Amino acid sequence: MPESFEEKVRDAIANPKNMGEMSDADAVGTVGSPDCGDMVRMWLKFTEKDGKKVIDRASFQSFGCQTAIAVASLATEMLAGKTVDEARQLGASDLSEPLGPLPPMKIHCGQMVEGALREALLADTGEPPAPVSASPVEAPAATLLDSLSSSGVPAGKKLRVIKLD
């Protein structure tokens, strides 16, 4: 049983859950940190349960540190079955709760995951979901790499992703 924060993070990222894009998602939210350069994207799929809209499943992609990946993985597990209102109440400390209190240097990693969740919930207008690829102009890119590649990378240049510790 992992004890320390580092052990819990290592444990969570050894087998991250719900990692990868969700092609039939109803909502997607992406946030990036100008400070560390990391990004997190979260997809949500809703369903109806007892007359309420609940999160059926959630998935994520992260170009981020290990803590962000660990929190995102735990958060996607935590979100399944939550109503939209319940999900709106969750802050970074709730989403990262299984890891214990985040060290001060890592608090923003949890906030990135919270931000991606909030963006996804904001994107959910209650309208019937449009396919992610409905409009190449307005729809979000399918992956973070696509998103990065289509924004600010000059034609003919390649994007190099450097993993941060």
- The contact set with ligand FES (CB under 6 A) reads 33, 36, 38, 64-65, 67-68, 108-109, 112
Cβ closest to ligand FES, residue 20 vs residue 37 = 37
Q: Which amino acid is at 53?
A: K
In the complex, least distance from residue 59 CB atom to ligand FES, rounded to whole angstroms = 18
**Token reading at 101:** 């209190």
CA atoms within 13 A on the CB side of 80: 11
Beta strands in the chain (DSSP E): 27-32, 39-49, 52-63
In the complex, least distance from residue 95 CB atom to ligand FES, rounded to whole angstroms = 13
What is the rounded CA–CA span in Å between residue 126 and residue 96?
A: 27
Cβ closest to ligand FES, residue 64 vs residue 140 = 64
Size (the chain), residues? 165
Neighbours of 94 (CB within 10 A): 13
> Which residues does the annotation mark as catalytic?
36, 109
In the complex, least distance from residue 106 CB atom to ligand FES, rounded to whole angstroms = 6
Cβ closest to ligand FES, residue 59 vs residue 66 = 66
What is the rounded CA–CA span in Å between residue 39 and residue 143?
A: 11
Cβ closest to ligand FES, residue 65 vs residue 78 = 65
In the complex, least distance from residue 90 CB atom to ligand FES, rounded to whole angstroms = 18
